[in-house]
Amino acid sequence: MKIALIAHDKKKDDLLRFMDIHLDFFKNQELFATGTTGGRIIEHTGLPVNRCKSGPLGGDQEIGAMVANKAIDCIIFFRDPLTAQPHEPDVTALLRLSDVYDVPLATNEGTAEAVLYHLTRTERE
């Protein structure tokens, strides 16, 4: 399964903790991430990650293009709802594309847990 991983700056540590908890799952997936997040994941977990540009430099748009081309199966995007993002239009576009192409998108740890639960059940069946 091809999974995109994105986290705003104040949420990167939360994403790394989430990945630690679910490392066995992530080891068996093809991972994609925006630049800085991808670098942190590689450094923290040692997992291979296909890195796009940093979010503000077009990384969210790159992942959006993969969604539109049906090259991403799921997005886990730990968003920071309390900090204004300079690339908010790109974030909004990515959210819209996930809806248009029916790609599961988790924007916080609770929904990420639910999505992973569903994906692991689906893999077993």
- Annotated binding site for substrate, which residues? 8, 12, 34-37, 54-55, 87
Alpha helices of 22-108 — where are they, by DSSP H? 23-26, 35-45, 59-68, 88-100
Residues forming the active site: 60
* Rounded distance between C-alpha atoms, residue 42 and residue 61, angstroms: 21
**Amino acid identity for residue 74 in this structure:** C
List the binding residues.
8, 12, 34-37, 54-55, 87
Q: Is 18 in contact with 109 (CB distance < 8 Å)? A: yes
The answer to whether the beta carbons of residues 67 and 102 sit under 8 Å apart is: no
Residue that has been written with the tokens 């790159």 in this structure: 62
Dihedral over Cα of 74, 106, 97, 48: its sign: negative
